[in-house]
Amino acid sequence: MAVGVFDSGLGGLTVLAALQRRLPDQAFVYFGDNAHTPYGVRDADDIFALTCAGTSRLFDEGCDLVILACNTASAAALKRMQETWVPEGKRVLGVFVPLIEALTERQWGDNSPPREVAVKHVALFATPATVSSRAFQRELAFRAIGVDVEAQPCGGLVDAIEAGDMILAEALVQSHVDALRRRMPMPEAAVLGCTHYPLMEDAFRAALGPDVAVFSQPDLVAASLQDYLERRPEMRGTGQVSRYLTTGDARAVSSRATQFLRRGIAFEPA
């Protein structure tokens, strides 16, 4: 049985790796829309159309549940998809909520009113589209009050990561952290609000310093999915074999994915 994992490119592989570690017997189908990456500079309608197309392909692969392992898609498309598009019997989930639950120290499914939490000053690093959507702040407001969020749009960072230019990516991380600190000099926590960014987590930690707690998504999403599937085993899907699909050049994407995950990954054309 297979669960779908969708991303605009390679960033969702960080989530997939965590899912596979936690759920080693679960089959997954990964869809990377590498031909259209990055999503973070696109408008909401474009992101919605591309995300629906990729999710539909995963439904065709027998995935009854699809995880949007892309913060931009989760921010700009998920709510609209759930309200107007997702077929009966299918589910599409995003990656924001597990992160916010960890940040606010709430258990999965805790629907009690928002309350004050220990962390008061949070830095959000995300794509321009995620920042402009304010989806993170909206979801946070359902769970916590009195939290000041300063969002930094990290233009160019996804492009550098996808291109494998880690020197440029590290320089961009430092630049974006410096820009954020000019507006929020002393954040208590930092949220890496793009699934590409865990590939640069060490650079973020170095730039932010030891006093800032860094929240990254892959392990949090994996724990949340495990809990979800234990309660909803029928959503494991009908596919039996893990596959990797891409709208880009399969050979080039496979090479880059193998470099990222340090194990052989063979993509096929979507």
Domain ranges of the chain: 2-94+218-269, 97-215
Architecture (CATH level 2) of domain 97-215 = 3-Layer(aba) Sandwich (3.40)
Alpha carbon dihedral 84, 89, 94, 95, in 10-degree steps, equals 170
- Residues 122 and 95: beta-carbon distance below 8 Å: no
- Residues 90 and 65: beta-carbon distance below 8 Å: yes
- Residues 90 and 31: beta-carbon distance below 8 Å: no
> What are the per-10-residue average pLDDT scores of the chain (270 residues)?
93 94 94 94 95 97 95 93 96 90 79 88 95 92 93 95 92 98 97 92 97 92 92 86 95 91 91
Write out pLDDT tens, residues 114-173. Answer: 889 999 999 999 999 999 999 999 989 988 999 999 999 999 999 999 888 999 999 999
CA angle 135, 101, 17 (to 5 degrees): 90
Do the first three CATH levels of 2-94+218-269 and 97-215 match, i.e. the same topology?
yes
pTM: predicted TM-score of the whole model, two decimal places:
0.89
CA angle 165, 191, 129 (to 5 degrees): 70
The residues that are catalytic are: 70, 194
Architecture (CATH level 2) of domain 2-94+218-269 = 3-Layer(aba) Sandwich (3.40)
